[in-house]
Amino acid sequence: MTVESKIAVETTNLSYISPSGKKLLDNLNCKISKGSIVGILGDSKSGKEIFLQTLNKIIPTFTGGIVEGKIIVNGLNVMEHTVNELAREIYTILEEPSLQIVQTIVYDDVAFGPSNMQLPTSEIRRRVDFALESTRLSGYEERNCYTLSGGEQQRLAIAGGIAMLPKIICMINPFSMLDPIGKKEISAVISQLNKNYNITFLITDGGQDIEILARLSDELIFMDNGKIINRGPPKELFSGKYEIDMRFPEIAELFTMLDGNITRAEIPLSVSEAVEFLTKLLRGKRQKISKTSKEPDKISKKVDPIITVRNLEHTYPGPPPVKALRGISLDIYPGELVAIIGQNGGGKSTLALHLVGILKPTNPEAIITVDGIDVPNASTMEIINHINYVFQNPNDQIFTEKVWDEVAFGLKMRGLNQEEIRKRVQETLRLFGLEQYANEHTAFLTPGIKTLLALASVAIMNPRILIIDEPTGGLDYKEADHVLKIIQALNETGKTIILITHDMRIVSKFTSRVIVIHQGQILLDGSPSEVFAREDLLKKAYIEPPEIAQLARELGLPLDILTVEDMYKYLRGVLSWSG
């Protein structure tokens, strides 16, 4: 009689040396129990993604380099099998979903894995239906995969993995491109698959979606420089007893800030736990405090708007035609830092591409005026002196070999003299903290540096307005914070900034105004506190307020409490702590 092992993954002295000779994994010894959900956290240099990719031999099969040590996955010695042989046991969902699509039609793409497993057609159909329903893609069966938005493609990649029902699913930053409700739904799918099919999940994150992982995971592993630094249940790791070089979940951060002033048994990680604790604490002690968040009245609306859009419509040609924008009208004022939010595929990027003249309205009566320029009738050269756009994926934008040349490109195109170019490039590299990378090859930069480079190469052209599409997508929390500080600094120099984002923390912390777009129309437009107060409407656009805003609403506190700092100040005031 054989006893089935309870271990899903076991690594012994696992090391990986890249083809360039760098040791990216350093003697990892790790056991992961079957049926558990494990979050693997760390910055972009921690080696967390590399660790997951060694488990099904993507590394070194496709990357080269040397893997040392032993990896056992569900009793199989990984080094003795090929990637496709391991596919029945372990499936990895890579970070860039568009590159994981192997068919043109949604249904076919999800069915591709089960079809390779030679399952009967009826079983393939059952699994595809289940996977599509689980990922909110039912009804998309016949859609062309490449016409899906980034978030929809992410869900498709996940559906492709789910349909194979492997015993272990590895996910590399799976939430990075999803709208808030999408994140919640994918978390629910993970829980459901884990519970019903006992699938083990290994999920990486750079700290951007730590709230989700903290609630979802049975265990968290922190990695740094290819090593495991800490591991344990989330409540223990965020209890404040450990030194963790990582952003804490908002609720945990709030409670660790309150430590010393309150006595608690364990750290709350969810809004409901925090509500339960704080309700008792606040009984009879509520008070009104002054506004804490940035409000739009900082910007004088007496000045003329810098962007005026009236009745903008855009229909992508079919058949059938897709109405992406349905009569958008808005004004944006000089110096504003505006967030455009909404569900994946809701029309945010289409609107942005109209503002820079890449797309033209499909209704002739539409008006788009940017800094006095009639955009639909202006040349690109004229437009980019006033407004520019930083693409979501920096790889779409970077096209020269060296960082210096990339930053200098726009100025060269304008025909500036060499001395002027040299001076401005140096200044921009310094401002963006890119000086040390000036002579590096753009293909080998980390995602965070690529994002900064894409931003720098547009900002150097000095437009008055910058549209930045998902500036923190795929970055770890340190890189994201750095990028956001630079964006804030640009805004402080007087530039009008429009951020397209799914990250509600960014919205609440950095922006003064939020525009919610839903199905090609403006659903809400106001300050973050005004917008986050309309939870009923937000749900329609697959948006969920940040956790602190939810907590404030649940506790009946002022709705302008949006950030951990706001809440801490409020609670300190109410409870008269000296802290």
Partner 1 sequence: MVWLEYEHKNTFFHNRLTGLTKLIMTLVIIFMAGFYWDLRYLGVLLLFTICLALLSKIPWHWYRNLLIVVLLMTPASIQLGSLWMVRSEYFKVLPREFTSKVIIHIGKLPVVGETALTYGNAYWTASFIIKIFISIMALYFFIYTTSVSDLSYSLQKLGIPSSIIFLISCSYRFIPLMLRRQQIVTWARSLRGWRIGKNPIKVIYNVGPIFFSLGLSAYNAVEQTTRAVSLKGFDVKKKTTPIRDIKFTYIDYVLSLFFIAVFAISTYLNLVYNIGNI
Q: Is the Cα dihedral 70, 73, 74, 77 positive or negative?
A: negative
Residue 439 makes contact with partner 1 by CB under 8 A = no
Closer of 15 and 147 to partner 1 (Cβ): 147
Return the closest-CA partner of residue 565 out of 266, 191, 158, 292.
Answer: 292
**Under 8 Å CB-to-CB from 22, ≥6 apart: which residues?**
none
Angle 250-258/564-575 helices, nearest 10 degrees? 30
Closer of 457 and 512 to partner 1 (Cβ): 457
Instruction: Give the bridge partners for 90, in sequence order.
Output: 168
Please identify which residue in 77, 104, 192, 272 interacts with partner 1, judged by CB under 8 A: 104
**Do 515 and 351 touch, CB atoms closer than 8 A?**
no
Using the rule CB under 8 A, give the single segment among 136-144, 289-297, 303-311, 538-546 that binds partner 1. 136-144
Q: Where are the alpha helices (DSSP H) in 228-290?
A: 234-237, 250-258, 271-282
Closer of 78 and 228 to partner 1 (Cβ): 78
Phi, psi angles (nearest 5°) of residue 472: -110, 5
Angle 564-575/547-555 helices, nearest 10 degrees? 30
Using the rule CB under 8 A, give the single segment among 142-150, 241-249, 427-435, 543-551 that binds partner 1. 142-150
Using the rule CB under 8 A, give the single segment among 58-66, 171-179, 360-368, 552-560 that binds partner 1. 58-66
Using the rule CB under 8 A, give the single segment among 32-40, 116-124, 474-482, 526-534 that binds partner 1. 116-124
Please identify which residue in 82, 138, 329, 377 interacts with partner 1, judged by CB under 8 A: 82
- The owner of tokens 């110096």 is 335
Size of the site for partner 1 (CB under 8 A): 70
Residue 147 makes contact with partner 1 by CB under 8 A = yes
Q: Report d(CA 414, CA 404) in Å as an integer.
A: 16
| Nearest approach, Cβ of residue 442 and partner 1 (Å) | 9
Residue 76 makes contact with partner 1 by CB under 8 A = no
Query: CB-based burial of residue 20 (10 Å sphere; 0-12 exposed, 13-18 middle, 19+ buried)?
Result: exposed
Q: Report d(CA 544, CA 184) in Å as an integer.
A: 9
Binders in 296-335 for partner 1, by CB under 8 A: 316-319
State which amino acid sits at residue 187. Answer: S
Residue 83 makes contact with partner 1 by CB under 8 A = yes
Please identify which residue in 92, 369, 511, 529 interacts with partner 1, judged by CB under 8 A: 92
Closer of 293 and 428 to partner 1 (Cβ): 428
Number of Cβ within 10 Å of residue 264's Cβ equals: 12
Please identify which residue in 50, 87, 455, 557 interacts with partner 1, judged by CB under 8 A: 87
Closer of 151 and 268 to partner 1 (Cβ): 151
Closer of 145 and 551 to partner 1 (Cβ): 145
Residue 160 makes contact with partner 1 by CB under 8 A = yes
Closer of 88 and 235 to partner 1 (Cβ): 88
Binders in 340-379 for partner 1, by CB under 8 A: 353, 356, 358
Residue 578 makes contact with partner 1 by CB under 8 A = no
Residue 146 makes contact with partner 1 by CB under 8 A = yes
Using the rule CB under 8 A, give the single segment among 143-151, 184-192, 241-249, 534-542 that binds partner 1. 143-151
| Nearest approach, Cβ of residue 315 and partner 1 (Å) | 12
Closer of 114 and 447 to partner 1 (Cβ): 114
**What's the alpha-carbon Rg for the chain, to the nearest Å?**
25
Residue 417 makes contact with partner 1 by CB under 8 A = no
Residue 410 makes contact with partner 1 by CB under 8 A = yes
Starting at the edge strand found earlier in the chain, the sheet holding 513-518 runs 387-390, 465-469, 496-500, 337-342, 513-518, 521-526
* The token pair that represents 213 in the structure block: 């992982």
Q: Report d(CA 222, CA 46) in Å as an integer.
A: 9
Closer of 397 and 472 to partner 1 (Cβ): 397
| DSSP character string of 127-189 | HHHHHHHHTT-TT-TTSBGGGS-HHHHHHHHHHHHHTT--SEEEEESTTTTS-HHHHHHHHHH
Phi-psi region of 99 (alpha: psi -120 to 50; beta: other; left: phi over 0): alpha
Phi, psi angles (nearest 5°) of residue 360: -110, 145
Residue 114 makes contact with partner 1 by CB under 8 A = yes
For residue 424, give the H/E element and its range. helix 418-431
Please identify which residue in 81, 88, 215, 323 interacts with partner 1, judged by CB under 8 A: 88
Residue 36 makes contact with partner 1 by CB under 8 A = no
Closer of 200 and 527 to partner 1 (Cβ): 200
Closer of 72 and 384 to partner 1 (Cβ): 384
What three-state secondary structure class fits 398?
A: coil
Using the rule CB under 8 A, give the single segment among 139-147, 234-242, 252-260, 262-270 that binds partner 1. 139-147
Q: Which residues bind partner 1 (CB under 8 A)?
A: 56, 58, 61-62, 82-85, 87-88, 91-92, 94, 96, 99-105, 107-108, 111-121, 124, 142-144, 146-147, 160, 164, 316-319, 353, 356, 358, 380-381, 384, 388-389, 391, 395-401, 409-410, 413-414, 443, 457-458, 461
